Structure 1
Amino acid sequence: MKILVDCDAMPRPLKEALCKAAGREKITAVFVAAQAPRLPESAFLQAIGAGKAFDGADDWIVEHLEPGDLVITADIPLADRAIARNAAVLNTRGEFFTPANIKNAMAMRGLLDELRVAGEVTGGPAPFSDRQRIHFINALNRFLQRRK
Structure 2
Amino acid sequence: MVVFVDADACPVKAEAEAVATRHKTKVFFVSNGGLRPSQNPLVEMVYVPDGPDVADMWIADRAGPSDVVVTGDIPLAAKCVEAGAQVLRHSGERFTESNVREQLAMRDLMTDLRAADPFRQGAGRAFSKSDRARFREALEMALRRVAST
Q: Is TM-score (shorter-chain normalized) higher than 0.5? A: yes
The amino acid that maps onto 2:5 is V
SS in structure 1 of the partner of residue 8 of structure 2? coil
| Aligned-residue offset at 1:63 | 1.4
1:65 maps to 63
1:89 aligns with 2:51: no
1:55 aligns with 2:53: yes
The amino acid that maps onto 1:89 is V
Structure 2, unaligned runs of 5 or more = none
**Match 2:32 to one of 14, 34, 37:** 34
- The alignment's C-alpha RMSD in Å is 1.5
**Which residues in structure 2 correspond to 1:1-148 (within 5 Å)?**
1-11=1-11, 14-35=12-33, 37-119=35-117, 121-146=120-145, 147-148=147-148
| Aligned-residue offset at 1:36 | 6.0
Moved more, 102-111 or 118-127: 118-127
Take 1:89 and 1:142, find their aligned partners in 2: how far apart are those partners?
Answer: 11
Question: Normalising to structure 2: TM-score of the pair?
Answer: 0.91
Identity of aligned residues (%): 35
Q: Which has the higher relative contact order, 1 or 2, with Cα contacts under 8 A spaced 6 or more apart? A: 2
| Aligned-residue offset at 1:134 | 1.0
Question: Normalising to structure 1: TM-score of the pair?
Answer: 0.92
| Aligned-residue offset at 1:110 | 0.7
